[in-house]
């Protein structure tokens, strides 16, 4: 999937292109809080130079403090929708125009251009240049063979700067040197294609860049020009935003302020999800056998998912149960609910010709059409597939009514599969939207319709989807999972790389198919299944799913059962910590799982790590990616203690690599020093009172006062634990906690146990 390249080496332009670049900022003018700069394509020395000459208008704005928007326009033409819905918080700006220079400042970020000199546009923060659009970086480009027009920008990159993000990408986590085409594709997890393409990159140089174009955007990340990040798109204008942090947390905070705030999913969604798998045989008897089997093996389960064949083949997605296999779906859902388990069913926005919904949609004009007025159909996936047109308000109401009928039956949520292969050629949308802009944007409309339907029927805070595709703004409709992974150790690691890339792109929650999805020749072996189980249950959301092999642990071996039980219980016990972190992270626009460098920005080694991650701010996880159980993991400076084995401790002065073998029931899950980790080891579901009957684990507490909050089941702060250390004495104070609480002090490999006296305790080590 080649990206756009316009040059032949550094000096030459490819023969099919004509490229014009601003030669100077000729004039600048202030218009309220906007700075307009006019940049002709050659230097103006005489009046005659102003004739027969094109120019770019550069419009500079600030919708959020420390965010500067840049719109490059050649011809000022109206653009058909859709466009990303962005927030304008209208911050104060300072615009300064003199004879020699024009600048706009928002917070600590300034963009400046010299006037009537060689073109140069610099972005500075606190007196330091963070990036720049240098001479000949911008381009107004015509392919004279096809008569297609493009706009291009190139932003400079520093010697040590690393680029991350651009959505869920399964190759190298660091994007330097890569070519990335931002167009949603159903390409699996072992290709350069991606289900979730986000035209936003994050740097470790204190800033990020968001390209506000829903159509295909081509990124050359220090590739076509190795000194710059290039991005280009078809059209006569190009809009982008430079977002200053300087920390990654602050960059993502401002990005989500601009593109939409994250949502916190319900607590129950953090528990284990079990599915039927895809092409396996399943019926009511099979489903209950699996659910009861989990109980018989003492493995807590929170959600059961029915994949595609809850409907009849050739009729997806007609939203009707296959009554041959499920004669009483309402009764079955009640049986599942009576076992304390939620129900999820698979859907997609493609309507097969054989299904009853097709005739309704055809009659009422609810599908994307071709230019000749026929419905846009093909046989890929299901025979005669049509696509719901979410630009038609009546089609949205119709689709939502089908979902509501399932919710009324007792269904709790939906797996919103697909949404990537949306037609562009010969496609007509109800509202006249440009198909090239709709292709990526479609997933937002689709998942919004589903999420809103659940929220309207279940209440605010109870909506969750399990989505595969995403675009800018999809962070408002969690959760997303990683798509069709291969069942082997290498693709398990690739899956993590994709997740960390996605979570660096403005998303908070992410899951993946435990064991891998594609069985084929790579049916998961017991050792892969166990290692992926550990990784999956140490992700924000956890789901067993596969293609043609059931994923229940007793189908693998007895140790797989023990492993699943152990790590489900570990995750459930951590929910007071995890849900508190999740609630606080989403409020600020940050992910629950995050790359190591987010929390260790001053450690340059941490900036390169992609086979381990932080789970919240306090826990380090290093999954095992081989059958030998060998792990190489890196520890930044500090004290680290395993939360699985108290005798595994590390005191690291300057950062250190650890090379160690782990048994199949173990892996590195380490708490950093000065951690107050709240747990409930008796939890049997993910949704419980997080303030009650807690174990308060204290790991190598620092001198002075440290405190943590704990939230309730709605994500609101409800309790607090404070530790005041003076030498060998720790004073523990709590508020808002109920029931009994036990304190465990983990210090230098030793564990001291104590009890609260009311809401206080004093411990001498």
- Alpha carbon distance 243, 452 (integer Å): 30
Among candidates 712, 765, 727, 713, which has minimal Cα distance to 743? 765
Q: Is 360 left (phi over 0), alpha (psi -120 to 50) or beta?
A: alpha
Residue 417 annotated as catalytic = yes
Number of Cα atoms under 13 Å in the Cβ half of residue 429: 25
Residue 50 annotated as catalytic = no
Sequence-distant (≥ 6) Cβ neighbours of residue 33 within 8 angstroms: 61, 62, 90, 93, 95
Strand bridging mode 619-621 / 649-652 = unpaired
For residue 494, give both structure tokens: 């690739």
Among candidates 630, 607, 635, which has minimal Cα distance to 620? 635
Q: Token match 């634990």: residue?
A: 721
- Alpha carbon distance 433, 451 (integer Å): 23
- Alpha carbon distance 584, 582 (integer Å): 6
For residue 208, give both structure tokens: 């990020």
* Helix segments in 307-391, DSSP class H: 329-338, 356-364
Torsion of CA 278, 284, 286, 288, to 10 degrees: 120
- Alpha carbon distance 110, 130 (integer Å): 10
Catalytic one of 420, 434, 484, 700: 420
- Alpha carbon distance 394, 735 (integer Å): 51
- Alpha carbon distance 614, 745 (integer Å): 22
Strand bridging mode 386-387 / 704-711 = unpaired
- Alpha carbon distance 83, 36 (integer Å): 22
Among candidates 260, 234, 226, 254, which has minimal Cα distance to 242? 254
Its sign, for the CA torsion 621, 624, 630, 633, is negative
> Measured at the alpha carbon of residue 450, what is the angle toward residues 447 and 451, in degrees to the nearest 5?
80
Number of Cα atoms under 13 Å in the Cβ half of residue 719: 26
Strand partners, 240: 70, 211
- H or E segment to which residue 221 belongs: strand 217-221
Among candidates 399, 385, 387, 375, which has minimal Cα distance to 355? 385
In whole angstroms, how far apart are CA 489 and each of 246, 453, 531? 36, 38, 9
Catalytic one of 417, 527, 585, 747: 417
User: Tell me, what DSSP letter sits at residue 24?
Assistant: B
- Alpha carbon distance 345, 275 (integer Å): 9
- H or E segment to which residue 258 belongs: helix 248-259
- Alpha carbon distance 319, 308 (integer Å): 10
- Alpha carbon distance 52, 90 (integer Å): 38
| Peptide bond before residue 82 is cis, with ω within 30 degrees of 0 | yes
- Alpha carbon distance 595, 606 (integer Å): 8
- H or E segment to which residue 494 belongs: helix 489-503
- Alpha carbon distance 690, 576 (integer Å): 5
Which amino acids are annotated catalytic?
417, 420
């Amino acid at each position: 999937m080649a990206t756009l390249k316009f040059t032949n080496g550094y000096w030459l332009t490819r023969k099919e292109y004509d490229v014009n670049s601003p030669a100077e900022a000729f004039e600048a003018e202030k218009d309220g809080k906007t700075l307009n700069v006019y940049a002709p394509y050659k230097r103006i020395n005489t009046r005659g130079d102003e004739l027969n000459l094109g120019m770019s208008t550069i419009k500079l704005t600030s919708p959020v403090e420390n965010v500067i928007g840049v719109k490059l326009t050649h011809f000022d033409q109206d653009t058909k929708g859709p466009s990303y819905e962005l927030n304008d918080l209208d911050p104060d700006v300072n615009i300064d125009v003199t004879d020699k220079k024009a600048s706009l400042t928002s917070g600590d970020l300034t963009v400046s251009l010299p006037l009537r000199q060689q073109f140069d546009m610099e972005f500075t923060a606190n007196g330091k240049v963070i990036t720049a659009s240098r001479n000949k970086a911008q381009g107004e480009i015509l392919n004279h063979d096809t008569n297609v027009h493009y706009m291009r920008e190139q932003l400079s990159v520093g010697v040590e700067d690393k680029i991350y993000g651009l959505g869920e990408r399964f190759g190298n986590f660091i994007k330097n040197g890569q070519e990335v085409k931002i167009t949603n594709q159903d390409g699996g997890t072992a290709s350069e294609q991606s289900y979730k393409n986000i035209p936003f990159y994050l740097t470790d140089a204190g800033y990020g860049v968001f390209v506000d174009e829903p159509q295909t955007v081509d990124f050359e990340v220090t590739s076509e020009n190795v000194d710059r990040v290039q991005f280009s798109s078809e059209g006569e204008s190009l809009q982008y935003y430079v977002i200053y942090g300087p920390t990654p947390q602050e960059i993502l905070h401002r990005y989500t302020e601009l593109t939409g705030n994250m949502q916190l999913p319900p607590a129950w969604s953090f528990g284990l999800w079990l599915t039927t798998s895809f092409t396996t045989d399943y019926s009511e008897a099979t489903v209950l056998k699996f659910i009861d089997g989990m109980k018989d093996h003492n493995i807590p389960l929170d959600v059961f998912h029915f994949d595609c064949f809850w409907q009849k083949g050739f009729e997806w997605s007609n939203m009707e149960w296959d009554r041959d296999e499920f004669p009483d779906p309402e009764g079955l859902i009640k049986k599942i609910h009576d076992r304390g388990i939620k129900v999820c069913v698979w859907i997609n926005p493609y309507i097969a010709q054989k299904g009853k919904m097709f005739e309704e949609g055809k009659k009422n004009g609810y599908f994307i059409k071709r230019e000749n007025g026929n419905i846009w159909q093909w046989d890929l996936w299901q025979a005669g597939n049509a696509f719901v047109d979410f630009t038609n308000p009546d089609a949205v109401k119709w689709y939502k009514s089908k979902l509501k009928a399932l919710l009324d039956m007792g269904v709790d949520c939906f797996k919103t599969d697909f949404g990537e292969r949306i037609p562009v050629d010969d496609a007509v949308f109800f509202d006249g939207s440009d198909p090239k802009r709709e292709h990526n944007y479609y997933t937002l409309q689709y998942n919004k319709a589903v999420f809103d339907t659940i929220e309207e029927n279940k209440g605010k805070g109870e909506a969750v989807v399990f989505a595969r595709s995403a675009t800018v703004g999809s962070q408002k409709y969690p959760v997303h999972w990683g798509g069709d992974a291969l069942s082997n150790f290498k693709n398990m690691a690739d899956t993590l790389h994709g997740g960390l890339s996605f979570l660096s792109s403005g998303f908070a929650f992410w899951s993946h198919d435990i064991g891998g999805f594609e069985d084929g020749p790579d049916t998961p072996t017991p050792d892969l299944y166990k290692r992926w189980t550990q990784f999956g249950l140490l992700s924000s959301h956890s789901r067993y799913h596969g293609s043609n092999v059931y994923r229940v642990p007793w189908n693998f071996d007895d140790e797989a059962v023990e492993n699943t039980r152990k790590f489900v219980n570990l995750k459930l016990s951590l929910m007071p910590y995890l849900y508190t972190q999740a609630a606080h992270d989403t409020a600020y626009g940050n992910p629950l799982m995050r790359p190591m460098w987010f929390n260790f920005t001053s450690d340059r080694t941490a900036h390169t790590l992609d086979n381990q991650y932080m789970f919240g701010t306090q826990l380090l996880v290093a999954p095992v990616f081989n059958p030998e159980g060998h792990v190489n993991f890196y520890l930044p400076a500090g004290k680290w203690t395993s939360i699985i084995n108290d005798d595994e401790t590390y005191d690291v002065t300057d950062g250190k690599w650890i090379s160690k073998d782990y048994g199949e029931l173990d892996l590195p899950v380490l708490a950093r020093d000065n951690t107050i980790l709240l747990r409930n080891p008796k939890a049997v579901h993910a949704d419980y009172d997080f303030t009650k009957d807690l174990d308060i684990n204290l790991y190598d507490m620092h001198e002075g006062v440290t405190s943590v909050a704990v939230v309730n089941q709605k994500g609101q702060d409800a309790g607090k634990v404070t530790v005041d250390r003076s030498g060998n004495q720790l004073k523990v104070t709590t508020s808002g906690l109920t029931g009994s609480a036990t304190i465990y002090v983990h210090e230098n490999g030793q564990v001291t146990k104590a009890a609260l006296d009311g809401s206080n305790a004093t411990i001498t080590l």
